[in-house]
Structure 1
């Protein structure tokens, strides 16, 4: 029997649909998959379908101990260790003994966090973000507990940049390393991952049956309404909204009658609102806040262009969703975005931090409605072919199979 345990910060997180899709896909294909996380969010399970609800019903989602320097935190840690000892006394004692035999800073903390893993006795532990493996992998190595990990963007692009190649030890002990694309692979190597590590490039995937053009013909601009430019994403600095707003201002100054609609929420909302006011675009920019999947799809279907001005991006599912519904896109070449979009075919890719280039690219497409239509069709075909969830699960099965795992049943 092969038991796969995925370690994530929270489950199921609304902003991390890719984790829920992976878990659901593997479970449906007969894998013995479990999730260990700090924050259990069963109230969100119904949003992700029957398979994620089944994870909770069958006890496949497990709480990781919260480590807090308080009496309550100490009690929780002791309870976690005691629970592991009661369920698997020999494994727990062995785990601690072997980990402490060659002590490293943070070993007791790591052993406490390992308590659910000791109870589950996994065939493989997979850290869904590289940051989660830091300071923890050495206790798994000491106990011959195999693990793999994913790099998804933030972990290699931002986390502890001053520390340089921090992922060397973690990656050397890993059975495999998953990355979203070639750009993240290069960055992982720069942060210490050995070039000869067992890499698996598995890009994100979306529900292409849900995010589809629909029966309606994409609206053609006739001059009776403003051209609609859409963005979808968290309101944070790395999404580059200020550069997008400046590009919109330049379009308006050139005489284009456009509106810019932004779907999403986050801590950068005040800064974005100030940028809108300073650009004099209060009547042309609408902050829609967080919307449900159906409403997001409706916005994508109604848009003339999708704009993503990010200055850093792992890959971006929202850009995939835009292409899947047949909406042409204008994006920057931030990190993995250039792998997401086929430049000149499904959209246009321009340099980061370059509002004039964004404005020029949008103007180029706004002038040519037939070209936008062709790009939309090409985008739909490319995403449906290359970024379908079923295909991604195939790749995950291949990756884990190469690491020696197999599903329980077919």
Structure 2
């Protein structure tokens, strides 16, 4: 079976969900091809096909368009079928012409499944799978379901009409897909993120040392949806109670300046540091020395970082945003706090730090065992095999 996965670009080292999926399917005898808009050098896990780029120079663009159309003449039946389907959906000629150009690499694909790694990636490509005689799948992730539909209501109507099967990464994402118009008859499957358990074989004994500052970590891009501003306010409340801590944020993003200003205003400059982007190996090293992991996002599709933090024996406190309550079980494997409530977060941290050491050890142990049992790459790959079969 041949599976074509559509992404903006080949997955980076940190995108473990896609990398483990591709590697696992290949190991089970499937052929996997990537179809991307931007090709990054060095990706060798499978064949990569790049969409034609649009040039600002009209003359150059004219030559590129002619070349693409000439190549598509070898797939004339597919091209005509695609144009017919686009017309039947009421698209204007200019948009159809543009879609032919941008989807030309997909229209030449010889595959059994065309799987869009994000639902937004399927927009303006809804008729490609039918045109090439393949089945169509989409994955529903955080931005797809939480943010994009707010900006463009009913944007997925054509996706839902043409998709054969929908993959979601959590129960929360499935509910959001339904709320965003997914048809009741659509076949769906929940396949959560997973971790490579071989990287977490070392069983670390942890205990909070009250003579030293508490080591707190968050792994997140610097973006409003990650709730870092609320986390900082909670930590300021802890500092006002003379609780000593060191908080590190692993990640980069557009909100760096705003967060730096907030740290200054809250008087946290000696307690908070930005680590920037780290390799996966170095990230795990940071988690090894972490006492408390916080993911106080306004919403998460699931969050791989929280899984890895639990596997590294970190005490995890998360918000109730999105699928985080599916990731961390409140008062069993960690703590779930209502989102956008810095006072509640601060009070939860304070309670955790004052819990009995044996009680905290039991929570760490249960969290680690659950992750290493229920969120394995092996289970994830078998789920994808079932999904395509």
Confirm or deny a common fold (TM above 0.5): yes
Q: CA deviation at 1:73?
A: 3.8
Aligned residues, how many? 384
TM-score, normalised via structure 1 length: 0.88
Change over 3 Å in CA distance of 1:292–1:139 after alignment to 2 = closer
Work out whether residues 365 and 371 of structure 1, in 8 Å CA contact, stay in contact via their aligned partners in 2: no
Change (3 A) 1:256 1:54: closer
Q: 2:179 aligns to what?
A: 190
State the 1:90 CA deviation: 4.2
Q: Does 2:117 match 1:128?
A: yes
Aligned mates of 1:23, 1:75 — CA distance in 2? 35
Residue 208 of structure 1: aligned partner: 197
Q: Which structure 2 residues correspond to residues 190-269 of structure 1 after superposition, within 5 A?
A: 190-212=179-201, 214=202, 216-218=204-206, 220-269=207-256
Name the structure 2 match of 1:359: 346
Counterpart pick for 1:325 among 304, 312, 317: 312
Unaligned runs of at least 5 residues, structure 1? 46-52, 402-410
How far is 1:91 from its partner? 4.3
Q: Distance in 1 between matches of 2:212 and 2:65?
A: 60
Contact 1:181/1:201 (CA < 8 Å) preserved in 2?
yes
Residue 384 of structure 2 corresponds to residue 396 of structure 1: yes
RMSD: 2.0
- Quote the residue 1:370 is aligned against: 358
Whole-Å Cα distance in 1 between the matches of residues 296 and 87 of structure 2?
Answer: 50
2:139 paired residue among 140, 143, 150: 150
TM-score, with structure 2 as normaliser: 0.93
Cα distance change of structure 1 residues 339 and 75 upon mapping to structure 2, 3 Å threshold: farther
Change (3 A) 1:227 1:111: same
> Which residue of structure 2 aligns with residue 406 of structure 1?
none
Any idea what the Cα deviations from partners look like across 1:87-124, whole Å, max 9, x if unmatched? x4444554455446636232222222332223222211
**Cα shift at 1:186:** 1.2
Where do residues 114-125 of structure 1 align in structure 2 (5 Å cutoff)? Answer: 114-125=103-114
Measured after TM superposition, the shift of residue 309 of structure 1 is: 1.1
**Separation (CA, whole Å) in 2 of partners of 1:184 and 1:261:** 29
Counterpart residue number, 1:285: 272
Written as runs of structure 1 = structure 2, the 5 A alignment for 1:334-349 is: 334-349=321-336
Provide the residue aligned with 1:3 in structure 2.
2
**Does the CA contact (< 8 Å) of 2:75 and 2:108 recur in 1?**
no
Alpha-carbon contact 1:67-1:74 (below 8 Å) kept:
no
CA distance in 1, matches of 2:228, 2:222: 8
The alignment status of 1:173 with 2:162, answered yes or no, reads yes
Alpha-carbon distance, 1:328 to partner: 1.5
Q: 1:99–1:143: 8 Å Cα contact kept in structure 2?
A: no
Matched position secondary structure for 1:209: helix
Q: Distance in 2 between matches of 1:3 and 1:77?
A: 28
C-alpha distance 135-217 of structure 1, shift in aligned 2 (>3 A): same
SS in 2 for 1:11: coil
Q: By how many angstroms is 1:228 displaced?
A: 0.8
- Give CA-to-partner distance per residue, 1:248-280, whole Å, 9 cap, x none: 111111221111111111111111111111110
Unaligned runs of 5+ in 2: none
Name 2:41's counterpart in structure 1.
Answer: 42
How big is the shift at 1:29?
A: 1.0
> How far 1:31 sits from its partner (Å)?
0.4
Tell me how far 1:245 sits from its aligned partner.
Answer: 0.6
